[in-house]
Structures are given as structure tokens and as C-alpha cells.
A and B are shown apart, each in its own frame.
Chain A
Amino acid sequence: AQRVTQPEKLLSVFKGAPVELKCNYSYSGSPELFWYVQYSRQRLQLLLRHISRESIKGFTADLNKGETSFHLKKPFAQEEDSAMYYCALSDSNTGGFKTIFGAGTRLFVKA
């Protein structure tokens, strides 16, 4: 079954420290993976998707098919990065098209 696992519910780092939010997935086929972010009092929004290989707000994520991982990284965390982060996988295998989310990781960046 398709699944997205984010093992950390909460991650707390100091400003300027590196950040890595972990995401593992299970999917039969070639996955389309995403990171979504929810800042306080804002709508959930797309941060980045693996296929575009973009770096958004200093964040990057590399798809590792061997380890079935899509970890989100940033070399120097900023206080404004504090938010809820969701890893997601789009599933087109079973007909239709739907996106499955992990349980989320709350990132707290301390001054």
C-alpha cells in the first residue's frame, strides 16, 4: 500500500543550524513526491516537488529511490522557517489521481 512516513513529530533547532526533515515512502511505481508547508495562520502550500529540482527558500530535497526517502534539508535554519511540514506522494496507480500525506513534522527554530 502507498504510504508516507515522517518519523519526527517535532524538530527543534537553533537559528543558523542545519535542518533535515525526514520522509520515507512506499509506492509501487515511480513516485511523484512533494513537500507542503503550513505557516501559522496561512493556507497549506506547496514548498517544492522533486521533479522540478528547485530550491525554495533555501530548502532542497533529493529523491533517493534506493532508500525510498525524500528528506527535506536546509543548511542554515531561519526563525521564519518555523512551520508544519508535510511530505506527500501523488498516486496515479489506482486510477484517478490523489495525494497522500505523511503525519507532518513541526519545525521550531529558536533564536
Chain B
Amino acid sequence: DAGITQSPRHKVTETGTPVTLRCHQTENHRYMYWYRQDPGHGLRLIHYSYGVKDTDKGEVSDGYSVSRSKTEDFLLTLESATSSQTSVYFCAISPGPQSGNEKLFFGSGTQLSVL
């Protein structure tokens, strides 16, 4: 497995509380992504990063923010968690097309429950 670590692996929180999920990579890949996985919807892109401090929105970015202050870390923050954000969150990394490799490598996922 590529060197990707997501933390925490499981999180239960209450509606209205802030939550931060962390993705750490040891591969020095340029691109990092946050997806959520929901039955019937597959994987939907929340935000992605194409370099330190360079981020952009994905398909379902409302209610989420991200930060990337170092190449190896990509943080996803739910400013005020809602029940609709209960999901499994996956981090992915990629060298990107400039490196001739568009393959994604995935983390193990974070199961988030918002009660």
C-alpha cells in the first residue's frame, strides 16, 4: 500500500461540532483528494489540492473546508457537522498527469457518524 495514513479511523460526533480529518502521505505526491463514499452515490469529490496552499472545490464542497500547509498533510474540516455529513471519507493521492501517472492511491478511510 502507498504511504497514506488517515486519522482518525472512526469518529462519532454531535451535530454542530467542528471536526477535522487528517490525511498524511509519505510518497511526496503532488495531488491530494478528499472523497466521501455513500450508498447509491459512489465516491464524490469534496475538495482537492494540487500543491501546498493550492486547493480547489469538488462536486460536494458545501460545509467543508481544507488546508494543505505541507506537501504531506491534507486536512478536511467540517466547520459545523450535520447528520448529512455522516459518511465514509477517503483520502487519495496521485503523482498527477505531469508525472505521467494519473493513478489514485487511497487511504483506509474514516468512518464519521454525526448524531
Check A36 for interface membership: any CB of B closer than 8 A. Answer: yes
Contact with A along B78-101 (1 / 0, CB 8 A): 000000000000101010110000
Interface of B is mostly: strand
> Are A99 and B104 closer than 8 Å at their CB atoms?
yes
> What's the nearest-Cβ distance from chain B to residue A67, in Å?
21
> Are A49 and B103 closer than 8 Å at their CB atoms?
yes
> Are A100 and B45 closer than 8 Å at their CB atoms?
yes
> Are B31 and A101 closer than 8 Å at their CB atoms?
no
CB-CB under 8 A from A102, the residues of chain B are 42
Contacts A97-B31, A97-B96, A99-B33; A46 near B104 (Cβ below 8 A) = yes
Check B115 for interface membership: any CB of A closer than 8 A. Answer: no
Name the contact of A43 in the complex, choosing from B43, B56, B102, B108 (C-beta under 8 A): B108
CB-CB under 8 A from B62, the residues of chain A are none
Check A68 for interface membership: any CB of B closer than 8 A. Answer: no
Contacts A96-B48, A104-B42; A43 near B97 (Cβ below 8 A) = no
Task: Please report B residues at the A interface, Cβ cutoff 8 Å.
Answer: 1, 31, 33, 35, 40-45, 48, 50, 56, 58-59, 90, 92, 94, 96-97, 102-104, 106-109
Shortest beta-carbon contacts, A-B, top 4? A103-B42, A101-B43, A44-B106, A104-B42
